[in-house]
């Protein structure tokens, strides 16, 4: 049986019998974990192994949002606290080479943390360009204030992850920085012209269009499609993401349970896939919602299946060697005198 075009969450730190039976039956392509699923390294290794056992695929993707700062699911005391993206661009001395080195090193350390417990996809880098009028939901998650710095540090982070055996997900395509609302709660409308969007918001994604995985934004771009958010807009996906940005990797939705989207969960999944997304993402682990998502997801096939296979093929057979103690010391020294929170 081919996997379904969906990534699903689960309720708690152990796989419930009902969840295992459901996942075994519907065969999601992958899974995503949150703080509610995480306790200790040993518990995480058991959980990721059990998730892969249910679908019978040793390389099944298991995702996490491990950015650092506000968005970090694996936390002390078992894992290091990492700074938000903005901190890398504020390292003392304003040396761009040092900033890139430390951004790559931070991601390499994150990859070590994740791979050691069976997680092989991290939803970074955030490539959104913040706007002064935009909502703080992006804020310090952005690597800088301009596309050039965001690309330099975002690519360094992506390379660090891949070197450690973890795939990056560029987000939120084609750009969330101008949105004046939090898509977890409502649907933002961006009124900027297509020329302004292409010059600033799209630029980091265009520069990193070679990445294996991307995530959409639940944002209306009025200059492209005044009626539908990017996630469910064929115009946004075909014209902005695939054509202007040139992204050919696997495109997944942001979380379908966000309030920015309308309709029931089956309708949301169908609308996103019909618009051109390859994969739908549902995060909260609510069984009734997951069943509705699966009903709208369908089988992973065609171009979407080829993109999924190509993405997994980017995971190296063995991670780049890492002197963990030396790497951690180097990383901590770069942020001396600064809070990583």
Active-site position among 25, 59, 95, 184: 184
Beta carbons of 158 and 106 less than 8 angstroms apart: no
Find the catalytic residue in 131, 140, 201, 254: 254
Q: Where are the beta strands (DSSP E) in 73-224?
A: 121-122, 167-173, 189-190, 213-216, 220-221
Active site residue 59: no
Annotate 189-258 with DSSP letters as a single string: EE---HHHIIIIISHHHHHTTT-SEEEE---EETTT-SSSBGGG-HHIIIIIIIIIS---SEEEEEETTS
Q: Please indicate whether residue 254 is annotated as part of the active site.
A: yes
Cα–Cα nearest to 5, from 209, 208, 276: 276
Secondary-structure breakdown of the chain: helix, strand, coil percentages, each rounded to the nearest 5: 40, 15, 45
* CB count in 10 Å sphere of residue 188: 22
Residues 6+ apart with CB under 8 A from 284: 9, 255, 257
Whole-number Cα distances in Å, 322 to 108, 111, 239, 326: 8, 11, 41, 9
Separation CA 17–CA 24 (nearest Å) = 11
Q: Quick one: tokens of 170?
A: 């560029």
How far is 99 from 90, CA to CA, in rounded Å? 8
Q: Which residues pair with 121 in a beta bridge?
A: 63, 167
Task: Look at strands 121-122 and 62-64 and give their pairing.
Answer: parallel
Strand residues in the chain grouped as ranges (E): 4-8, 28-33, 62-64, 66-68, 71-72, 121-122, 167-173, 189-190, 213-216, 220-221, 250-255, 279-282
Active site residues: 184, 254
């Amino acid at each position: 049986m081919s996997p379904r075009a969906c990534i699903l969450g689960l309720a708690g730190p152990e796989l419930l019998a009902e969840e295992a039976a459901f996942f075994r039956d519907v065969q999601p392509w992958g899974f995503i974990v949150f703080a509610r699923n995480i306790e200790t390294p040993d518990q995480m290794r058991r959980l990721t192994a059990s998730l892969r056992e249910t679908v019978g695929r040793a390389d099944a993707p298991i995702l996490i949002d491990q950015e650092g700062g506000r968005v970090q699911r694996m936390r002390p005391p078992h894992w290091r606290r990492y700074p938000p993206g903005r901190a890398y661009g504020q390292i003392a001395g304003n040396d761009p080479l040092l900033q890139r080195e430390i951004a790559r090193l931070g991601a390499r350390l994150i990859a070590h943390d994740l791979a050691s417990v069976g997680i092989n996809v991290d939803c970074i880098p955030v490539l959104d360009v913040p706007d002064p009028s935009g909502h703080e939901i992006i804020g310090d998650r952005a690597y800088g204030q301009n596309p050039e710095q965001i690309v330099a540090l975002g690519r360094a982070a992506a390379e660090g992850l891949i070197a450690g055996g973890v795939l990056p997900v560029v987000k939120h395509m084609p750009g969330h920085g101008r949105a004046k609302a939090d898509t977890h709660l409502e649907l933002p409308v961006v009124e900027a012209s297509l020329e302004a969007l292409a010059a600033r918001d799209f630029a980091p994604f265009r520069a990193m269009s070679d990445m294996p995985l991307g995530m959409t934004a639940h944002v209306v771009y009025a200059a492209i499609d005044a009626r539908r958010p990017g996630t469910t807009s064929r115009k946004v996906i075909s014209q902005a993401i695939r054509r202007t940005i040139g992204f050919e990797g696997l495109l997944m939705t942001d979380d379908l349970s966000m309030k920015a989207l309308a309709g029931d969960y089956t309708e949301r999944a169908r609308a996103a896939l019909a618009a051109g997304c390859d994969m739908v993402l549902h995060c909260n682990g609510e069984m009734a919602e997951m069943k509705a998502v699966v009903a709208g997801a369908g089988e992973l096939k065609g171009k979407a299946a080829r993109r999924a296979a190509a993405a997994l093929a980017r995971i190296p057979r063995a991670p780049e060697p890492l002197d963990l103690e030396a790497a951690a010391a180097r990383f901590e020294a770069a942020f001396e005198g600064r809070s990583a929170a």
